[in-house]
Amino acid sequence: MSYNVNFKDLGLRDYKETWDYQAELFKKIIEGKKTDGGIRINDNQDLPGTLIFVEHPHVYTLGKNGSENNILMDLLQMRARDATFFRTDRGGDVTYHGPGQIVGYPIFDLGLIGIGLKEYISRLEEAIIRSIREFNITGSRLLEGTGVWLDAGVQGKERKICAIGVKASRYVTMHGFALNVNTDLSYFDHINPCGFKDKGVTSLEKELNSKQDIESVKRIVRDKMREVFDLIWV
């Protein structure tokens, strides 16, 4: 089913400021839903979703069920690297966001799209898999966790190029994905990314041995999101 969506590229924006903005949009859609005979419906079928693209200043975030043991530095060490820290309400464990990374926050009503949360996450992964295929990079899924991986299942070579962590309530989503494009991967050295101790991280820049035009990558990811979710930009 086609779904109307506003697209917003916020550029470089503070993590907490963007989280608050997401929460406003999320709340608006939630409040537009009601229960009718036990079935949740949207009061305003024309209320569009929103897809946000953003880059954040250096920040570490921990999911609601994540372990602080996967953070290998203290707050003073984070400050020394100009990084901040937030415990969030998304799923997943600890990850890093920073310049050169495309962070995507879809605030979608899955009820209007006609899919559940598991299918939603699978479609996010598919959009990224199709995006990096444009660079002749083969991405895949990993049974042990979400996200998009290179050489999944090859012990010692598995590396994540895109992390996924979402929140959903009443079939409405927020938070999302983080695709490493020109990301400074040294920031991942101070955490067990997504809780994994034996797997690496990578980026388009590292895989292609050259810095990428992030605006071009954004256009590709935006187009693949449109394809996978059958989005109509409004």
The residues near 31 (Cβ < 8 Å, ≥ 6 apart) are none
Residue ranges of domains in the chain: 3-233
DSSP-derived 3-state class of residue 19? helix
Say which of 194, 201, 225, 231 is annotated catalytic.
194
β-pair partners for 217: none
Q: Yes or no: say if 145 and 161 are a contact pair by the CB < 8 Å rule.
A: no
Per CATH, the homologous superfamily of domain 3-233 is: Bira Bifunctional Protein; Domain 2 (3.30.930.10)
CA distance 216 to 174: 24
Q: 117-133 and 214-229 helices cross at what angle (nearest 10)?
A: 140
Residue 16: what are its φ and ψ, rounded to 5°? -65, -40
Phi-psi domain of 31 (left: phi exceeds 0; alpha: psi -120 through 50; beta: other): alpha
CA distance 131 to 29: 28
Q: Yes or no: say if 168 and 149 are a contact pair by the CB < 8 Å rule.
A: no
Residue 194 is among the residues annotated as catalytic for this protein: yes
Q: Yes or no: say if 180 and 159 are a contact pair by the CB < 8 Å rule.
A: no
* pLDDT recorded at residue 38: 42
Q: Along the 234 residues of the chain, how does pLDDT read in single tens digits?
A: 899 999 999 999 999 999 999 999 999 999 987 655 444 454 455 689 999 999 999 999 999 888 988 898 988 999 999 999 999 999 888 999 999 999 999 999 999 999 999 999 999 999 999 999 999 999 999 988 899 999 998 988 999 999 999 999 999 999 999 999 999 999 999 988 776 767 899 999 999 999 999 999 999 999 999 999 999 999
